[in-house]
Amino acid sequence: MLIRIFPSAFPRSVGAVTYYLLTSVSPFWAPTKEQTFENVCLQRVSYPDDLFSDVPREAIEFIQKLLVKDPGLRPSAVDCLADPWFQSGITQSLPFVELQNPGSSETMDTPVNSDSCPEQSRVDLDRSIGEC
């Protein structure tokens, strides 16, 4: 079976990856595989305050433009690269937390959300990975 992938699928993928990178949660996450599949098929995405409270408004708008249901309304790759938020660079708005490299005495400065520093529970990991 031949599967055709159209260029409009790539911005959607960038939107999903950006959502995940900023929140550590899949944009289509649901408690079950069936619900997750339904969210993907129906392009059902939510932007809960508890996940997006530290995310710049411009970043949310960038993701929303990419995750629109109608492929014809999604921006091109060139438009994505020209987006003001994308051009501004996210690391300017993230706090730096000093992390220690496991098995080493060296530390590294890495931009991370300081709320995510404690070890995640199994439930949090399930939520970030989803049921798929």
Q: List phi, psi (to 5°) of 108.
A: -140, 145
Cβ 85 vs Cβ 62: under 8 Å: yes
Using the structure block, give the residue that is written with the tokens 């699928």: 9
- Identify the helix (H) or strand (E) that includes residue 128: helix 122-129
Q: How far is 55 from 101, CA to CA, in rounded Å?
A: 26
Q: How far is 54 from 93, CA to CA, in rounded Å?
A: 9
How far, in Å, are 54, 106, 110 from residue 98 at the CA level? 19, 10, 7
**pLDDT score for 90:** 54
- Give bridge partners of residue 14 from the DSSP assignment: none
User: In terms of pTM, does the model score above 0.85?
Assistant: no
- Run means of pLDDT, 10 residues per run, the chain, 132 residues: 70 92 93 93 92 93 93 88 83 52 50 46 47 46
CATH C-level class of 9-129: mainly alpha
**pLDDT score for 98:** 54
Cβ 8 vs Cβ 104: under 8 Å: no
Q: Where exactly are the structural domains of the chain?
A: 9-129
Q: What is the pLDDT of residues 83-119, one digit of tens each?
A: 999 888 755 555 554 545 555 555 444 444 445 444 4
**pLDDT score for 10:** 84
